[in-house]
Amino acid sequence: MSDSLHTIDCEYVQRDLACAYLRVSGDECAFIETNTAHAVPRLLAALAAQGRSPADVRYVIVTHVHLDHAGGAHALMARCPNATLLAHPRAARHLIDPAKLVAGATAVYGAAHFAELYGTIRGVDAARVRALDDGAEVPFGAGALRFIHTRGHANHHFVVHDPALDTVFTGDAFGLVYPQLQRAGLIAFPSTSPTDFDGPAAHAAVDRILALGTRSACLTHFGEQTRQRDIAAQLHDWLTLSEALVEASRERPEAEREAFIEARLTAAFDETAARAGLSLGAADRTLVALDRRLNVQGLAFAAGRPRA
């Protein structure tokens, strides 16, 4: 039985920023991540390029419900009549009723920008959504896919272990490795966006992914990577810094926290780039600006929570 994997650039905001994956095994297909409704034509074109039809799609899988990962779930499911949507138990209810997700994102972006980024988001029929516990397996092709819960970035996050291809689809639990920044040496950094950042859980998620010992890791941001140990080392350093900034921010007035954190994250990124031999241009700084801003907000939010 033939097995193949296809990386699909969703061209979310720009190229090489967010991808989805088409997994083919024999007569069955699965999409891992959907990006937004705007990306669905790209996903279906990738399917057609492999000589497959939407009726061949057995699963649509989202690692978590942040909208750059799951915003297109309804639109893709509407085109794939035989597919089941697989999600973390805490994510499933938001895929069935996305009203809170839509309201929250609309409040942040405004209605016009929200529509530009994400299009229309509707709920998926509950009968077509399956919630998967930690360690659950589902049959696929001649083998199975295994789902591993990985908190730290989001409390409703899992990764997908694919033994047949010796890889793991990591969502946001194994950081961001943008191709544009790899011109000199490896640069990986985590996503600590609001509202669920948990330092110890994020460290544990990185270690759990690394412990799988897979040949590669397939990141949503961006692409298949084979330097997992090097990526993990950088992520642990960033996460340790992030934890320290959360603690240091607790002692500061709330109005000062974000500026304090942003200045230190910016300096740390500049130092990381210099160590890698990367001369940062305007396009590089624009690329990381949104993630840095979200990371700042996530760490400031964590600093406002009571200590566990």
What DSSP line would sit under the chain, residue for residue? Answer: --EEEEEEE--SSSTTS-EEEEEEETTEEEEE----GGGHHHHHHHHHHTT--GGGEEEEE-SS--HHHHTTHHHHHHH-TT-EEEE-HHHHHHHH--HHHHHHHHHHH-HHHHHHHH----PPPGGGEEE--TT-EEEETTEEEEEEE--SS-TT-EEEEETTTTEEEEETTT-B--GGG-SSS---B----TT---HHHHHHHHHHHHHT--SEEEETTTEEES-HHHHHHHHHHHHHHHHHHHHHHHTS-HHHHHHHHHHHHHHHHHHHHHHHT----HHHHHHHHHHHHHHHHHHHHHHTSPP-
Report pTM.
Answer: 0.96
Mean pLDDT (whole number) for 209-236: 98
Assess whether pLDDT exceeds 70 at residue 1: no
Residue 28 in this model has a pLDDT that exceeds 70? yes
Q: How far is the C-alpha of 72 from the C-alpha of 22, rounded, in Å?
A: 15
The per-residue pLDDT for 53 is 98
pLDDT at 124: 98
Q: Write the pLDDT tens digit of every residue in 179-203.
A: 999 999 999 999 999 999 999 999 9
- At 139-179, the pLDDT tens digits run 999 899 999 999 999 999 999 999 999 999 999 999 999 99
pLDDT at 2 over 80: yes
Write out pLDDT tens, residues 265-292: 999 999 999 999 999 999 999 999 999 9
pLDDT grade, residue 113 (50/70/90)?
confident
Predicted pLDDT of residue 101: 87
199-215 mean pLDDT = 98
Produce one character per residue of 168-196: b if its CB has 16 or more CB atoms within 10 Å, e if not. Answer: bbbbbbbbbbbebbbeeebbbbbbbbbeb
Residue 110's pLDDT is what? Answer: 84
Question: Which region among 44-53, 101-110, 115-124, 243-252 has the lowest average model confidence (pLDDT)?
Answer: 101-110
- In the chain, what are the domains? 3-149 (3.60.15.10)
pLDDT value, residue 266 = 97
